[in-house]
Structure 1
């Protein structure tokens, strides 16, 4: 299954979920906004109704005072007058965002002021202290036109607000019907994408489970084959060594017992046959050693490198009489003593094998502490350097040195199986370390061993 397809589907699902969340928040905000607008419209209609009712009540209170001369009606008229102004202010505040209503508010304020003034004139005209006297009925009749203009204007305002309220209610109803449908569709789409993603991931997990089972089965078959191959290699090696021993034994017997019957050419052939048999024996032994390193996982112990290297040097004592040995103080590590012995035996043996005859040879083994990094994590290592001043090697062949049968071009005529350094590399791997080499032709070689401290 294409990983990009799964990522795309999950991305679309998350995008739709995000859109659904944003849309839900927006719809809730819109509902609240419409609710506020409708509530404001209802308050506006109430202010209009209060203004209309206050206007009528003020006229009624003023008429009652003129007829009865009861000051109670006069005070009530004054209260209604103030109430009308309050209602007008409330209407103006509620409709400040509507230009049409603001225009009506200015007209209403003007007409309310005119009507209040005319009512006050009627009251004053009815008193004995009035400077100018009008016929009261004529004055009342004259002010009726102001009443009609006010009622006409207030009705227009009322109709305009009711029309606005009707439109707003219609929009709110549409939103109430459309929004659940839209949210339902988006929810279904999200569930569909998530469901499809779940199906794809389930299929992939099932395939991986099947692949894991198959891989486990292949690993078991491979381990079984490796064990069979190890047994076969062990048996085959021993079977190969037996005829080689016979060949060497017969060659030695021919040389010892019948050398007088052979000419120089025959003796040379026997010697070459014996040398080839010896090289074949060494090769088989090295292959067996490498095979054991690849298969065995021996328990580790504390190994004193100082003692191990001294034992190796003693084993080469007859070959190092004219070699200067410089052995530093070596640390104690955790490892397998047999493998460590083989490691230094191969390295020191190479240093002896590749000596130069034109210089005084030396072999130095020194130890240092070194910090190495794996990513950003530092680790402490024992850095062991095995250095000589022998024939050295060309750096371009360094990678070839640690492979099986990795013989360098410049040393192809030297005795050896070409497996020794590959054995060293495997030993370092078994100990969680690394091996590296550096050198120059006719300048010597250095082998760097890094053991975890």
Structure 2
């Protein structure tokens, strides 16, 4: 009876131990499987995020965000969204977008596709071609994508298709190419190894799942049956061997050894569970450390960007400062050079001014001497000429009957020559006095012309001359000299006229602005037009010289000094005189007086 109770007690303990062993084994298997899946998903996410840091997109700076697309109902979209909350790509926020259809894919930079959803890789490549989208796939055949990744149990490996990448214009860093699988044979062997491991894992998982879903009571019954079978087998052996002769104490010893073995198995399960928990904690610590390192890297990147920005600002300021200093030096050099040039020119100008002043004084002295000589010569010549004229008059009056015709003609020539000589002397005296008057007054040119018409009335009536004058201005000048100017020009217009032609004189005036270096001067431009014989072009300068005649005295009388008077009067008033003439049609004299 006691032996039977002991057997029952032993059987119960065995059942409990085996049940606990099965429970712990299931928990261990589930925890390990869950932990492995989380690690794989995290590794996949970090690996793809690492791709974004080592690939260059065209015109990426124009995008405000970096967009990652996931094709199909893949849990990777959750992992990506968890990652992008604390990370950036190319210093830009990351946005994760899910797509159910290939046709909907657009406006992203990177696309992830898993082969377990059976999407056609060639169709995907044709749809994203030219859209600047980089394709990352998982578990596809070798060299069918751009980057294809594969899980090898504890980690991921990848292979790169440079042909597809270069065709779409992407640039991949050498650091990414360095660790890629570049052999189709290696990829195939890796694929076979992974498939075998995956098949084994699936079988174990199916077995565990099958037993995990069974009723606990059935598990206990199964264990009890196994124990009963073991006991019956022991009994049979004991009947057939030396066990039959053993005592009850030996059986208890065997049972205790078995119980101790079960306890060791339970302790081993507990230790494995503790290791799993410790591994989870270590992974969390590593993730926390990676997160902290990422935050620290971002802070340092921000600091570096700020420093780089400041350095760029300082560089720009230094360049601007250097340019400004160069401009200042160039300006100072130009100013100094101009100063030296101006100093040299001023020195030359001063010398020239002194020379001009000296020459002006000499010229003034010469002019005064010349005018004095002309006045004295003409005055001294006038007295003997008057005596000669008086004696000739006495000869003509008292002795004209005693001379023959030749003598009378000779006396007449002498008398006319004396008169002409007297007129020349008077003209020289008048010419020497011109320009000496420095007192200018307002001269009404209309009144001056009216006075001249009265003075020349006999000549005008005799030659049937017609004088037409417009509205003439009031000018500043010497009244007598201006009257002599108009008189000489009008008299020439009447004198030098064809026979049987009635003289026509037209007098007009306009106000003009003429350029004088950097200034503009305003002048009155007078024109006196006649219908006379005209002047040849070769004589147009010569006629303004003193005692210059173009015709004999028999044709036209005069001394040849009238136009010389006109030139001297105009120039003394600060103006110019010139003419325009067509031979046989008439002449127009122009002169200017400052307004």
TM range (shorter): 0.5 to 0.7
Aligned with 2:558: secondary structure?
coil
Work out whether residues 363 and 386 of structure 1, in 8 Å CA contact, stay in contact via their aligned partners in 2: no
Residue of structure 2 aligned with 1:199, choices 340, 364, 367: 340
Give the structure 2 partner of residue 41 of structure 1.
none
Q: CA deviation at 1:366?
A: 4.8
2:273 counterpart of 1:135: yes
Aligned with 2:466: secondary structure?
strand
Give the structure 2 partner of residue 286 of structure 1.
427
Q: CA deviation at 1:192?
A: 5.3
Take 2:430 and 2:494, find their aligned partners in 1: how far apart are those partners? 21
Q: CA deviation at 1:288?
A: 2.6
Work out whether residues 527 and 588 of structure 2, in 8 Å CA contact, stay in contact via their aligned partners in 1: no
Aligned with 1:297: secondary structure?
coil
Residue of structure 2 aligned with 1:345, choices 487, 503, 524: 487
Q: CA deviation at 1:179?
A: 7.4
Residue of structure 2 aligned with 1:310, choices 448, 453, 463: 453
More helix by share: 1
Q: CA deviation at 1:420?
A: 0.7
Alpha-carbon displacement from aligned partner over 1:1-51 (angstroms, at most 9, x marks no partner): xxxxxxxxxxxxxxxxxxxxxxxxxxxxxxxxxxxxxxxxxxxxxxxxxxx
Take 1:437 and 1:212, find their aligned partners in 2: how far apart are those partners? 34
Take 2:328 and 2:462, find their aligned partners in 1: how far apart are those partners? 90
Unaligned runs of 5+ residues in structure 2 are 1-80, 94-171, 177-212, 214-269
Take 2:336 and 2:525, find their aligned partners in 1: how far apart are those partners? 56
Give the structure 2 partner of residue 362 of structure 1.
502
Change (3 A) 1:330 1:200: closer
Residue of structure 1 aligned with 2:360, choices 189, 210, 219: 219
Take 2:378 and 2:479, find their aligned partners in 1: how far apart are those partners? 25
Take 2:404 and 2:322, find their aligned partners in 1: how far apart are those partners? 109
Give the structure 2 partner of residue 243 of structure 1.
384
Q: CA deviation at 1:448?
A: 6.1
Q: CA deviation at 1:238?
A: 1.5
Change (3 A) 1:379 1:203: closer
Take 2:563 and 2:342, find their aligned partners in 1: how far apart are those partners? 48
Alpha-carbon displacement from aligned partner over 1:206-245 (angstroms, at most 9, x marks no partner): 4433443443344344334433332232222222333333
Aligned with 2:454: secondary structure?
helix
Take 2:452 and 2:338, find their aligned partners in 1: how far apart are those partners? 63
Change (3 A) 1:411 1:373: farther
Aligned with 2:429: secondary structure?
helix
Take 2:342 and 2:583, find their aligned partners in 1: how far apart are those partners? 59
Give the structure 1 partner of residue 208 of structure 2.
none
Take 2:336 and 2:392, find their aligned partners in 1: how far apart are those partners? 81
Take 2:549 and 2:466, find their aligned partners in 1: how far apart are those partners? 28
Q: CA deviation at 1:301?
A: 3.9
Work out whether residues 511 and 524 of structure 2, in 8 Å CA contact, stay in contact via their aligned partners in 1: yes
Alpha-carbon displacement from aligned partner over 1:369-397 (angstroms, at most 9, x marks no partner): 64545369897958664645x54444553
Q: CA deviation at 1:198?
A: 3.1
Alpha-carbon displacement from aligned partner over 1:174-211 (angstroms, at most 9, x marks no partner): 979x9799789958954556445433433333443344
Take 2:495 and 2:540, find their aligned partners in 1: how far apart are those partners? 18
Change (3 A) 1:382 1:138: closer
Change (3 A) 1:384 1:149: closer
Work out whether residues 393 and 410 of structure 1, in 8 Å CA contact, stay in contact via their aligned partners in 2: no
2:367 counterpart of 1:229: no
2:514 counterpart of 1:374: yes
Take 1:431 and 1:193, find their aligned partners in 2: how far apart are those partners? 43
Q: CA deviation at 1:313?
A: 1.5
Change (3 A) 1:344 1:218: closer
Take 1:443 and 1:197, find their aligned partners in 2: how far apart are those partners? 56
Change (3 A) 1:415 1:172: same
Work out whether residues 400 and 408 of structure 1, in 8 Å CA contact, stay in contact via their aligned partners in 2: no
Take 1:428 and 1:145, find their aligned partners in 2: how far apart are those partners? 114
Take 2:441 and 2:426, find their aligned partners in 1: how far apart are those partners? 24
Q: Where does 1:39-438 land on structure 2 (aligned, <5 Å)? A: 88-89=87-88, 92-93=91-92, 135-141=273-279, 144=282, 186=326, 190=330, 191=332, 194-259=335-400, 264-303=405-444, 304-314=447-457, 317=458, 322-328=462-468, 333-334=474-475, 335-357=477-499, 359=500, 361-368=501-508, 370=510, 372-374=512-514, 385=528, 387=530, 391-394=533-536, 397-408=539-550, 414-429=556-571, 437=579
Take 2:276 and 2:590, find their aligned partners in 1: how far apart are those partners? 127
Larger Rg: 2
Q: CA deviation at 1:421?
A: 1.9
Change (3 A) 1:149 1:412: farther
Alpha-carbon displacement from aligned partner over 1:384-422 (angstroms, at most 9, x marks no partner): 64645x544445534443333342258895332211123
Take 1:288 and 1:369, find their aligned partners in 2: how far apart are those partners? 31
Take 1:426 and 1:237, find their aligned partners in 2: how far apart are those partners? 19
Work out whether residues 505 and 528 of structure 2, in 8 Å CA contact, stay in contact via their aligned partners in 1: yes
